[in-house]
A and B are shown apart, each in its own frame.
Chain A
Amino acid sequence: MAERMFVQGNEAVGWGALYAGCDGFFGYPITPQNEVTQWFASEFPKRGKVFLQSQSEVGSINMLYGGAAAGFRVMTSTSSPGWGLMQETISHCVAAELPCIIVLVQRGGPGAGSIRHAQMDYISVTRGGGQGGYKNIVLAPASVQEIHDLVQLAFYLADKYRNPTIVLADGILGQVSESVDVKTIDFGPLNEKDWALRGIGKQKDGKCRLINSAAGVLPVPPYPNYISWLRHMDEKYKQMEADELRYETYKAEDAELILIAYGYTARVSKETVNMARLQGLKVGLIRPITAWPFPYDIIREKAIQGCKFLVVVDSLGLLIEDVKIAVESRADVGLVSILDRHLPTDGGMIMPGRVFEEVKRLI
């Protein structure tokens, strides 16, 4: 039974996690996602679940490494500077095949940048930002409902692939409150975590478990050497690419110009599509729900059909690189970027009206 609630985006992270059966949250304060940490601090202990404020984001992610290794559903949340700090151990989590969730509420960068919304971490999120080149499924919600839903999906996918999953939000989505159906979403059965560390007394076969992130130094069964292990990882990434692609198309069937956006700018773009359609302009939207794997094929298909594209993103570009890869020089790709905000301050936003101006110019 769903409960209709009015929930802030940051708090929806908590409700999603709770309904996904999250066991522990480990986090460090950082704006603009402090409500996430505060939500867990007030809601988790009274339900017998673990909340811990770490000594740094480095601490948080290494707590996830431990909690996940012990077989628990664990997560953290941070903003862009904290995301930077976590890269090392996200890479270790991938290597040790430890499922965990990292929610990234993006803010302006680089450096300390601003404490308010932006979408400037796209490349490090989708390419595996730490050492060694790896892949994480990246879920990009565009509404508070979707934050709640995708946090739950993230736990499922993390366990399914034994891999970290990233939920990529932004300061606007974190701060906005929207009406939400709060409920458990069932994604189907998962394998038991018989690889987890519990103490040999609790292992069904009585045998010890060893988890490490250095397959090239101390080979981990069943992979006899480094390359056989890398081959296994490669197959896993390919399976994620084949099976986990998600995107939304909105009025794209007959569109001559397609907007491409994720997160808050996807909402702004949807409004723009509605404005354009009211004036009879054939404009649509493709919204990646997984930023990795990226919906290259549908965009390429549209390019072949002769569509133009307009990327709407609150950064200097970044997302446009994936769109350019998809269209293979077949189509023009325009950009509405952070430079097009309605105010020159950190509080400026990309507004539907500004996007619409660009739509009218391009079509």
Chain B
Amino acid sequence: MEEKFGSRNDVIMAGLGGMGVLSAGKILSLAALKKYRYVSWLPSYGVEKRGGLCECTVIFSNEEIASPIIDRAQSLIIFEGSQLKAFEPRILSGGIILAESSGMEDGREARDYKIIEVPGLEIAVSMGMGQINNLILLGSYVGVTDAVPPELIEEELEIRYKTRKEVLKRNQEAFRRGIELGRTVEG
């Protein structure tokens, strides 16, 4: 990925309120800040805290970021399979869409980009906690793109859940599962 788009990475994450879309974006941003000169994170959500449409755009680059708002991104992470159709127009050609497989509708044909289905929710539930799916998806993204070193994300998780060891452990496990998934797909 890095060679294709130079020293810049951008990703649009989309889902519903409560799925951890914004926090996954924030964790990625903070990790990226340790490696890239410029980082932007733009959230967009409705009035409701739970269940409303929710997306964020994360850009990290060593060049100045012209706009935090972009029409199309190198990568999309779709947290709710049924939203794939609505967001497909927002992927750059040659880009990668990571989509949660649950809720996904049939009849899709990838054009000049790659779609990777991630059974994140299923794995999260099997790990005992649906909420950690955001870290599984984020892990998959990192596993596929190598946009940021995984240890930077892990550092960020440690800061975020400093006082909640159990939560930290679950999130770390989820993130690592995601990385594995991503790497397998690419390999």
Contacts and interface: CB of A to CB of B under 8 A. Distances in A.
A178 B71 contact: no
Given A6-B33, A115-B47, A178 B38 contact: yes
Contacts of B29: 6, 177
A179 B42 contact: no
Contact of B40 (A178, A342, A352, A353): A178
A352 B67 contact: yes
Interface string B36-69: 1111111111110000010000000000011111
A266 to B, nearest CB: 9
Contacts of A349: 44, 69
A92 interface: no
A271 B70 contact: yes
B42 A352 contact: no
Contact of B67 (A4, A270, A342): A270
A352 B10 CA distance: 15
Nearest to A347: B44
A175 B43 contact: yes
B30 interface: yes
Contacts of A273: 66
Contacts of A271: 66-67, 69-70
Contact of B39 (A175, A178, A270, A353): A178
Interface residues of A, number: 22
Nearest to B43: A175
Contacts of A140: none
A179 B38 contact: yes
A172 B38 contact: no
Query: What class of interface size applies to chain B in its complex with A?
Result: 20 to 34
Contacts of A264: 69
Contact of B30 (A6, A175, A274): A6
A271 B73 CA distance: 13
A274 B66 contact: yes
Contacts of A178: 38-41, 65, 68
A264 B40 CA distance: 13
B66 A177 contact: no
A268 B44 contact: no
A6 B71 CA distance: 23
A6 B160 CA distance: 14
Contacts of A274: 66
Contacts of B65: 178
B26 interface: yes
Interface string A311-353: 0000000000000000000000000000000100001010111
A147 to B, nearest CB: 13
A176 interface: yes
A351 B68 CA distance: 10
Question: Which of A172, A178, A264, A273 is most buried by chain B, counting CB atoms within 10 A of its CB?
Answer: A178
B68 A267 contact: yes
Contacts of B33: 4, 6, 179
Interface in A225-278: 264, 267-268, 270-271, 273-274
A177 B41 contact: yes
Contacts of A172: 42, 68-69
Interface string A149-188: 0000000000000000000000010011111000000000
Contacts of A179: 33, 36-40
Interface of A: 4, 6, 115, 172, 175-179, 264, 267-268, 270-271, 273-274, 342, 347, 349, 351-353
Q: Which 4 A-B pairs have the closest CB atoms?
A: A271-B67, A353-B71, A267-B67, A270-B66
Interface of B: 26, 29-30, 33, 36-47, 53, 65-72
5 contacts: A172-B42, A175-B43, A175-B44, A177-B26, A271-B66
